[in-house]
Amino acid sequence: MSPELLAHHGRLKSPLVLLGAEYWNWTEPDYGNLADRRSPVYSVLKNLASEKGFADYVHITDSTL
């Protein structure tokens, strides 16, 4: 995912909200479990977004409220 995807119409910033903190931000991979499809991309997205001034628009949550 490129930082350009976080932009909408060039100047407006659109939020990116990832649902499921354990899924997107896990820290202890289970390499023996090939069915484990979790992806630790939250920190990568946050770093890419900070390079382009979008870090405040990248969020992760477990809540649907």
Q: How many domains does the chain have?
A: 1
Q: What does the pLDDT read at residue 65?
A: 66
As given in the structure block, the two tokens for residue 40 are 């630790």
As given in the structure block, the two tokens for residue 32 are 């023996």
Residue 46: domain span: 3-61
pTM score, two decimals?
A: 0.62
Question: Do residues 54 and 13 make contact, with C-beta atoms less than 8 angstroms apart?
Answer: yes
Residues of the chain predicted below pLDDT 70: 1-11, 64-65
Q: What does the pLDDT read at residue 31?
A: 75
